[in-house]
Chain A
Amino acid sequence: MMEEVKDVSAGSVHGDTIKVTEVLQDGDTLTFIIVSQKLSGTGEYHVDRTYDDFEWLQQHLYTQEDVPGIQGVIFPPLPVRPQVNASAKVMKQLGFLALGEWQPYCRALETFLQQVVAHRLLSKNPALELFLTSADPPGRQKIKKNLFNRLSQAMEEMRKEGHKDVDEFFQTVRDQNLQLTGSSRTAAEKFLDVVLTEQKIAVACGHFSAALHLCVEPGQDPDHKAFSRVCVKLSEVFDSMRKSMMSFSLNDLNTLGLGLDLESRHLEAEKEMLFRRTCKLVELESARRNAERAKPVRKAAMEEVKKASETEFEQICEVAKQEPLSARPCGNAAEESDSVV
């Protein structure tokens, strides 16, 4: 089923060819058309999915309890739910993805799918195959909230965030991640401001151009004609300015804007993974303490728990080390990155 490393695929689909080609808007819901090439080379899969389906997939990925160290995985981030005619708060959350008629959003979803398919652990999930190839929408039942959701949303756990690490490598990674996450979020927000202002300028140029057109005087007198001509030309110039500004802003949006957005979301996902690991570390340490202090009658049980904790933690660290981390405190980034996936 799985091809070898070079060929990125999930089941019968060739991973790199996954594209979200269209987004259809039906009232308030958005439906995405996903096209992917069959591995066997005999054609394509066309499926249509809504955001709920994506969430379904994500839930399934989260609940792979059987995979050891699954908590060490940096889960590819799914963008926030898209809303048509969103409120200002939601627009701010969506950031770049809400602009450009959902095209950046499609790119983001595409990235999500490709990353899942490319991941050595996640791609084995049967839900993925179903998602990509089945003509009917995969089951939409809500999966019960699991470990991941609880942890990543628990605010009271935040105090564990600062817990000192036992491993220097991971401490560095955590510090680096903290810095980068903040900076990239700010950069993305500021750039969003730039793009929005560019759009505003484009609109203002358009208004100006229209107003100039009104200046055209209907006289036959050559002065009038000359003046009108000047106005018309200037109006055209401003119209092209408008177009160029719009294209500036769209290009910015589709390149740096999207890039910054993806990067900052990836860093957030990494942060969550590191946080899960830290929580596990805290759990391990308390298990150790309990095992030491346990009365003999309970000692065996405590030891069991401790052992389980240790194994889990080690597995998580193992998996985490192989994930694409933002910081590589030791070793050459270029070489390591090649060998990972």
Chain B
Amino acid sequence: MASSSERSPPPFPESEDPEVLEAAVPDRDSDEDEADDPFLSASNTPLTRKDTPAAPASPDDSLVTSSQSEHRSASRSSEDFMDVLNISAKAALEDPADDFVDILRGGASAQRGEDDAPAEGGAADPPAAFTAPVMELRDGWSASSTQKPLVSEKIPDPLVELLGEASTVTDEATKPSGEVVDLFDDEGSNIFTGAVPAEPADIFTEEDDTMSDTRKHSVKNNGVHSAENTDIIAEATVELSLDSPRNERKKKPTPTPSLPAAASLTKPECSALEEVEEEEEDRCDISVSVTDPEKIGDGMTAYMAYKVSTETLLPMFRNKTFTVRRRFSDFLGLYEKLSDKHGPSGLIVPPPPEKSILGMTKVKVGKEDSSSADFQERRRGALERYLQRVVNHPLLLQDPDVREFLEKDELPRAVSTQALSGAGFLKMLNRATDAVSKMTIKMNESDVWFEEKLQEVESADQQFRKLHTMAESLVVHRKELSLNTAGFAKSAAMLGSAEDNTALSRALSQLAEVEDKIEQLHQDQAANDTFGFSELIADYIRLLGAVRGTFDQRMKAWQRWQDAQAMLQKKRETEAKLLWANKPDKLQLAKEEITEWEAKVTQYERDFERVSATVRKEVLRFQKEKTKNFKRQIMVYLESLLQSQQQMIKYWEAFLPEAKAIA
């Protein structure tokens, strides 16, 4: 891949877009993207994007390529993994899925425990009637009419019985080994070290690292199905040591490449965009948190006041840490001011959460229930993230309004944000005219980059909306699961108290307790899903709206320019007419107007260029932020998933001796 400055056809032309390649865009700067090639050499995607703003993108390059190469090597060994999976020899395992085994055992114990319950229903009665049904639940059990062998046989056979159960899921058994392998293969390519390879046999390894756990989570089902589990315990200790170093290794490469890469690569990449991206540095310089929502006042005039605490090292602020109280309309007011000031120049101003009449009314009325608590938490989180985004933006941070918002004790009430007010109506009108003009302006797009970006933004918006609905439905189901588990726990407790046999009765009440704890787990998990995930997606839907807004701003700037040009043309025509009609005084006026309009045209053109450049920079910055944000959030989310799974395992393991004790 030569770093030539011509648009040579990409090395791996797949879905080549010929017009894109040929698009001789005059204002395109040198092919920094060619410089990207060495990094992307491993990729198979055609280089249809030949743009200057590779600078901000470059830090991710190294990350991407390193992970890609790892991916490649990993995929080559995928076949090996397949074979290894199919055979029982699991010695060469790289990543033990510790939890996997615990889950399996936990699952097994759960089943055993559960089996014991009905089995002991049979214990109370003569086993003949009951051991028959219970025994038939496991294949391969020889009939025995005594109870002791019944109980003891259960212990060594959890896997056998699981395999027996697997008669219903045998088709799944073969599939997961195939699919699971792919999942596990991509060890290296996991940006967030999520689904790392793990053999099903690893399940019995003990304690966990946070990293390996994400895999275990994904490997869980496989262990339950797979048929090669009998001597896994032997390999338990081996796996553990292999796990830790690898995880350390994985943890390290991910965050570091971005920083040095950013420094080294920004220099060569920048051309038109002389501004070097400094976002790496200001990340930890200022952090804002929104906490402690407090209801002030009563009745319909009540509102929630939030505590906004800032911690910063930047010299522009008076103190290092300070706190103020703000209400929701203050946040909205800040947004209004910022977007009025900076929007037209093409900055992406992060939007705050929306007003919610229903939510706020509930708060005002004082109704305290789970949905209002949910609403409060969502809003608080959204406000915090909103503020953090504002201060992370280098240009917005310089704005005195932002500083005032963070520092000043008392802010004037932002009345323009009220729904039913003069200012509110004015805003609505403006928005309406904007919408209409957007429809009528047909921009002659000279820069295809913008068109593409707009397309992407639109499709991303759609996808995110879909994701959001999915995430919300997942949350709903989890809540339902926790409810049902609670119901079951109660009925199990009742059954336990009705039961004669003391051991069985005790086991049943223990089961009820375990289920209770699990219900709590499910609830927590649902909360996690919501706040860790679904809210993130909602944020991005809002942000994408803001991005679209900047494109609109650019269009407006273009329109102004075009209008000025049209005006200039008219003035020239008037001048020509006057010249022909020979009216010297009006001619002078006309000449003056022409110069005036010429100046305006030049100015608007420059404005437009400036806005285009800003928009471009902003969009790229947004994309990088987006990726980083998602990555971080997802890691947090997965780790929490892991935690809850591990908790569940612990609960079931604690239950196991109880179940065994039914005799």
Tell me the A residues contacting B by CB distance below 8 Å: 6, 8, 16, 19, 74, 76, 100-101, 103, 107, 110-111, 114-115, 118-119, 176, 179-180, 183-184, 186-187, 189-191, 193-194, 197-198, 200-201, 204-205, 207-208, 211-212, 214-215, 217-227, 229-230, 233-234, 236-237, 239-241, 243-244, 246-248, 250-252, 254-256, 258-260, 262-263, 266, 323-328, 333-334, 336-341
- Choice from B142, B161, B190, B464 contacting A233 with Cβ under 8 Å: B190
Quote the shortest CB–CB distance from A237 to chain B (angstroms).
6
Instruction: Give the contacting residue for A118; candidates B118, B132, B165, B481; CB below 8 A.
Output: B132
Docked Cα-Cα span, A200 to B471, in Å, equals 13
8 CB contacts below 8 A, A to B, read A101-B168, A114-B132, A218-B15, A223-B57, A225-B45, A240-B195, A246-B169, A266-B133
Whether A237 and B630, one on each chain, are in contact in the complex, defined by CB atoms closer than 8 angstroms, is no
Smallest CB gap from B475: residue in A: A204
Contact A186 B67 (CB under 8 A): no
B221 pairs with A236, CB closer than 8 A: no
At the interface, is chain A mostly helix, strand, loop or mixed? helix
A272→B473 CA distance, assembly (Å) = 44
- How many angstroms between the C-alpha atoms of A194 and B487 in the bound complex? 9
Pick from B172-180, B287-295, B389-397 the stretch touching chain A. Answer: B172-180
Given contacts A115-B133, A259-B115, contact A240 B125 (CB under 8 A): no
CA of A327 to CA of B500, assembled, Å: 7
Q: Is the Cβ of A100 less than 8 Å from the Cβ of B168?
A: yes
Of all chain A residues, the one with the shortest Cβ separation from B44 is A220
Are the C-beta atoms of B195 and A107 separated by less than 8 Å? no
Query: How far is B168's CA from A246's CA once the two chains are assembled, in angstroms?
Result: 12
Instruction: Determine whether the beta carbon of B118 is less than 8 Å from that of A263.
Output: yes
Q: In the complex, are the beta carbons of B478 and A114 less than 8 A apart?
A: no
Tell whether A187 pairs with B491 under 8 Å between CB atoms, given A115-B133, A204-B470. Answer: yes
Q: A204-B474, A250-B165 are in contact. Are A324 and B129 (CB under 8 A)?
A: yes
Whether A259 lies near B36 (C-beta < 8 A) is no
CB distance from A283 to the nearest CB of B (A): 27
Bound Cα distance A210, B192 (Å): 20
A74 — which chain B residues lie within 8 A by C-beta? 129
Instruction: Evaluate contact between B165 and A254: CB separation under 8 angstroms.
Output: yes
Partner of A225, one of B64, B218, B224, B500: B64
B67 touches A229 (CB 8 A): yes
Q: What are the 9 A-B residue pairs with the smallest beta carbon separation, nearest first?
A: A259-B118, A337-B126, A256-B114, A324-B125, A240-B218, A341-B128, A16-B143, A244-B221, A111-B133
Q: A201 touching B477 by the CB < 8 A rule?
A: yes
Per-position binary interface string of chain B over residues 139-161, scored 1 when its CB falls under 8 Å from any chain A CB and 0 otherwise: 00011011100000000000001
What residue of chain A has the Cβ atom nearest to residue B194's Cβ?
Answer: A233
A215 and B470 CA atoms in complex are apart in Å by 13
Contact between A240 and B114, CB atoms less than 8 A apart = no
With a cutoff of 8 Å between Cβ atoms, the chain B residues found around residue A336 in the complex are: 126
Given A218-B45, A338-B127, 20 new contacts (CB under 8 A): A8-B143, A184-B121, A189-B491, A190-B487, A197-B484, A201-B474, A211-B467, A215-B463, A222-B39, A222-B60, A223-B620, A225-B64, A229-B189, A241-B641, A243-B176, A248-B107, A254-B168, A256-B111, A326-B125, A333-B501
Out of B136, B180, B192, B471, name the residue touching A230 (CB < 8 Å): B192
Inter-subunit contact B126/A340 (CB<8 Å): yes
Write out, one digit per residue, whether chain B residues 537-559 have a CB within 8 A of any chain A CB (1) or not (0).
00000000000000000000000
The answer to whether A187 and B189 have CB atoms under 8 Å apart is no
Give the distance in Å from the alpha carbon of A339 to the alpha carbon of B49 in the complex: 83
The residue on B at minimum CB distance from A190 is B488
A214–B192 Cα distance when bound, in Å, is 20
The answer to whether B60 touches A223, judged by C-beta atoms less than 8 angstroms apart, is yes
B499 to chain A, nearest CB (A): 7
Are A220 and B485 neighbours in the complex by a CB distance under 8 Å?
no
Expressed in whole angstroms, the Cα–Cα distance for A318 and B123 within the complex equals 21
Q: How far is the CA of A219 from the CA of B46 in the complex (A)?
A: 9
Known: A111-B136, A222-B40, A233-B194. A197 touches B114 (CB 8 A): no
Taking a contact as CB atoms under 8 Å apart, the answer to whether B195 and A197 are in contact is no
- Which listed residue, B60, B123, B147, touches A226 by the CB 8 Å rule? B60
Bound together, the chains give a CA A111 to CA B456 distance in angstroms of 60
A241 touches B124 (CB 8 A): no
B480 within 8 A of A: yes
Alpha-carbon distance A190/B493, docked complex (angstroms): 12
A254, B183: Cβ atoms under 8 Å? no
Q: Are A255 and B45 in contact (CB under 8 A)?
A: no
For the complex, give the distance between the alpha carbons of A100 and B167 in Å.
11
Which residue of chain A lies nearest to B190 when distances are taken between CB atoms in the complex? A233
Nearest Cβ in chain B — how far from A93, in angstroms? 18
Give the docked Cα–Cα distance between A209 and B128 (Å).
47
The yes or no answer to B460 lying at the interface (CB within 8 A) is yes
Chain B residues with CB under 8 A of A262: 118, 133
A40 to chain B, nearest CB (A): 18
A259 and B57 within 8 A (CB): no
Q: Does B623 contact A (CB under 8 A)?
A: yes
